[in-house]
Chains A and B, each alone.
Chain A
Amino acid sequence: MSEPILKEFANPLSLGSRRILVTGAASGIGRATCRLLSCLDARIVAVDVDEPGLEAVMREMSGEGHARLGADLADVERIPAWMSELAGTGGPLYGVVHAAGLSCVQPVRLLTPALYRRVLSVNTEAALALARGFQKKTVGDPRGGSIVFISSVMASAGAPGAAVYSLSKAALHGLARSLALELAPAAIRVNCVAPGFVRTPMFDRMASPWDAQQRDRVEEDHPLGLGAPLDVAHSVAFLLADTARWITGTVLTVDGGYTAH
């Protein structure tokens, strides 16, 4: 998390005090996204269930006018309501980045609804609820907006034990395509960023039972090596900014070549 963020490219990518809601803001890709977007002059609404983590990210962001909300994204039904409240108190939102996600590595014989329901709620249903909240006239910026879902290479690749995670992320691609068409008349763009394996706290938890050989193999599966959260955050910034004003319904895969080989 200590990499310097360059500002010299800030001109076309500038978000000029637009308000962007980021879920999963307390760690990993969400946290790097908050830091980067704040350097591009966005005003961030940081959402996460981890309140101490949120406090840390609030301290890390540059600029002013940021807000935070401790909320569990699994509580899908409440999402549009708190989005309306946030817009009412702090002004309309220009963008939403859904970076909150739970991993799920389990053999299929153990995949009971009780186990996977929470994963599907946070990873997938919350994305739909965020879009529902965002398209309300009282929530979205009248200039239009941009939604970015963080999916995964597992949306198009498979792995033993990854059934539910793959399902939850592949669904985001389908969701983004139809939302892109439905929301285009409102000048709302909807895209996905599909990362490969990125060094995040979630990755560390997933990789903790692996031996050195397994770690090497995952690294070798990425021709450019494992990624950093900032690599993904840069693509999110590109898709939120006017640089991507003609891009919607697209998946931008940021994976060090994982899906190319």
Chain B
Amino acid sequence: MDPSKVTLITGASSGAGRRIAVHLSRSRRLILHGRDSARLSETRDLCERPTEHCMWDFDLRDSGGIEGALEPVLRGNQLAIESFVHSAGMLKIQALRLVDRGSAHEIIDVNFMAALEIMRLLVRQKFNGKHLRGVVFISSTASRFGARGFSVYCASKGALDAFMRAAAVELAPQVRVNSVLPGATRSAMTAAMLSDSELRDRMESDYPLGIGDPDDVAWAVEYLLSDKARWITGQEFVVDGGRTVNMTA
């Protein structure tokens, strides 16, 4: 039986990952990954044709366990992954002198190692045939610019983008691989920052077009995965309301 081709979205239980899932569900069958199965179900209910989409409940901090956990999802449902969106991400703001190796490892595991591990599996013929075509990593403007307390997060996103370019070159022309680098959008991850009115006012003024919406990120992802972007690979697409050109902020 020819497996049904689907799009895997990690981190689909909230924020940009959830909006990406809703957008892509209009034209694709999805595997929705998240850590929190209740919120993952909420995402599925927001999608078009909810019953067509699978859920994969797994903690990506266990990057060594990904293979064993993902395989039954594919085999059990006769699925092959055609597109992959890595939207799972962890952020912990810590001064460098206070960074502990344990949480640094967790951030690197979720933000980068999980993407590497999933890619490694998806291009193995025994695991996924030759079905993979399009990949988008949700990186961050932190991949290109520093901020106090962001050292590990910046490093994890920088690694993700460097890996993206190498994978794009190695896997062309069968697979296209790109990153979207969002600035701050309204999401659970930024809710704490945005609830502080002083910090929110500063962020609003730092962003020439204001704070973004997860939909703005979802549109870019949908575009990069579509055939309209068939000649785009190995690129960082900055979606940040002009934040990173505003050096005086």
- Give me the interface of A with B, judged by CB distance under 8 Å: 6, 9, 12, 177-178, 180-181, 184-185, 189, 196, 223-225, 227-228, 231-232, 234-235, 237-238, 243-250, 252-257, 259-261
A246 touches B213 (CB 8 A): yes
> Nearest chain-A residue to B243 (Cβ)?
A249
Q: Give chain A residues whose Cβ lies under 8 Å from the Cβ of B227.
A: 6
Q: Once bound together, how far apart are the Cα atoms of A162 and B237, in whole Å? A: 26
Q: Once bound together, how far apart are the Cα atoms of A117 and B158, in whole Å? A: 40
Query: In the complex, which of the residues A178, A237, A244, A246 has the most CB atoms of chain B within 10 Å of its own CB atom?
Result: A246
> Nearest chain-A residue to B213 (Cβ)?
A246
A244 touches B209 (CB 8 A): no
B232 touches A223 (CB 8 A): no
B208 touches A246 (CB 8 A): no
Q: Give chain B residues whose Cβ lies under 8 Å from the Cβ of A253.
A: 232, 235
Q: Once bound together, how far apart are the Cα atoms of A247 and B172, in whole Å? A: 27
Q: Give chain A residues whose Cβ lies under 8 Å from the Cβ of B72.
A: none
Q: Once bound together, how far apart are the Cα atoms of A231 and B165, in whole Å? A: 20
B36 within 8 A of A: no
A261 touches B242 (CB 8 A): no
**Once A and B bind, how many residue pairs between them come within 8 Å at the CB atom?**
112
A174: shortest Cβ distance to chain B, in Å? 10
> Nearest chain-A residue to B237 (Cβ)?
A252
> Nearest chain-B residue to A256 (Cβ)?
B231
A200: shortest Cβ distance to chain B, in Å? 13
9 A-B pairs with the lowest CB-CB distances in the bound complex, closest first: A260-B234, A223-B172, A184-B208, A249-B245, A246-B216, A231-B231, A234-B228, A243-B219, A248-B242
B216 touches A245 (CB 8 A): yes
A9 touches B226 (CB 8 A): yes
Q: Once bound together, how far apart are the Cα atoms of A196 and B245, in whole Å? A: 23
Q: Give chain A residues whose Cβ lies under 8 Å from the Cβ of B226.
A: 9
A247 touches B228 (CB 8 A): no
A33: shortest Cβ distance to chain B, in Å? 13
B223 touches A243 (CB 8 A): yes
11 sample A-B contacts, Cβ–Cβ < 8 Å, listed by A number: A184-B209, A224-B230, A235-B232, A238-B228, A244-B219, A246-B216, A246-B241, A249-B246, A253-B232, A257-B168, A260-B165
Q: Give chain B residues whose Cβ lies under 8 Å from the Cβ of A234.
A: 228-229
> Nearest chain-A residue to B23 (Cβ)?
A12
Q: Once bound together, how far apart are the Cα atoms of A246 and B141, in whole Å? A: 14
Q: Give chain A residues whose Cβ lies under 8 Å from the Cβ of B233.
A: 223-224, 256-257, 260
Q: Once bound together, how far apart are the Cα atoms of A245 and B241, in whole Å? A: 8
B192: shortest Cβ distance to chain A, in Å? 21
Q: Give chain B residues whose Cβ lies under 8 Å from the Cβ of A232.
A: 231
A213: shortest Cβ distance to chain B, in Å? 21
Q: Give chain B residues whose Cβ lies under 8 Å from the Cβ of A228.
A: 231
Q: Give chain B residues whose Cβ lies under 8 Å from the Cβ of A223.
A: 168-169, 172-173, 233-234
A9 touches B228 (CB 8 A): yes
A181 touches B235 (CB 8 A): no
Q: Once bound together, how far apart are the Cα atoms of A15 and B72, in whole Å? A: 44
A248 touches B232 (CB 8 A): no
Q: Give chain B residues whose Cβ lies under 8 Å from the Cβ of A184.
A: 208-209, 242
A181: shortest Cβ distance to chain B, in Å? 6
B239 touches A224 (CB 8 A): no
Q: Give chain B residues whose Cβ lies under 8 Å from the Cβ of A259.
A: 234-235
Q: Once bound together, how far apart are the Cα atoms of A235 and B241, in whole Å? A: 17
A260 touches B237 (CB 8 A): no
Q: Give chain B residues whose Cβ lies under 8 Å from the Cβ of A238.
A: 219, 223, 228
B246 touches A181 (CB 8 A): yes
Q: Once bound together, how far apart are the Cα atoms of A35 and B239, in whole Å? A: 26
A224 touches B208 (CB 8 A): no
Q: Give chain B residues whose Cβ lies under 8 Å from the Cβ of A177.
A: 245
Q: Once bound together, how far apart are the Cα atoms of A185 and B207, in whole Å? A: 11
Q: Give chain A residues whose Cβ lies under 8 Å from the Cβ of B209.
A: 184, 189, 245-246, 248
Q: Give chain A residues whose Cβ lies under 8 Å from the Cβ of B29.
A: none
> Nearest chain-A residue to B212 (Cβ)?
A246
Q: Once bound together, how far apart are the Cα atoms of A228 and B229, in whole Å? A: 11
Q: Once bound together, how far apart are the Cα atoms of A185 and B226, in whole Å? A: 32
Q: Once bound together, how far apart are the Cα atoms of A245 and B216, in whole Å? A: 7
Query: In the complex, which of the residues B165, B216, B232, B239 has the most CB atoms of chain A within 10 Å of its own CB atom?
Result: B232
B244 within 8 A of A: yes
Q: Given A177-B245, A181-B242, A189-B209 in contact, is the A260-B173 Cβ separation under 8 Å?
A: no
B176 within 8 A of A: yes
Q: List 13 additional contacts besides A178-B245, A256-B233; criterion CB under 8 Å.
A: A180-B245, A224-B172, A224-B173, A234-B229, A246-B240, A248-B208, A249-B244, A250-B239, A250-B240, A256-B232, A259-B234, A260-B233, A260-B235
> Nearest chain-A residue to B164 (Cβ)?
A260
Q: Once bound together, how far apart are the Cα atoms of A225 and B232, in whole Å? A: 11
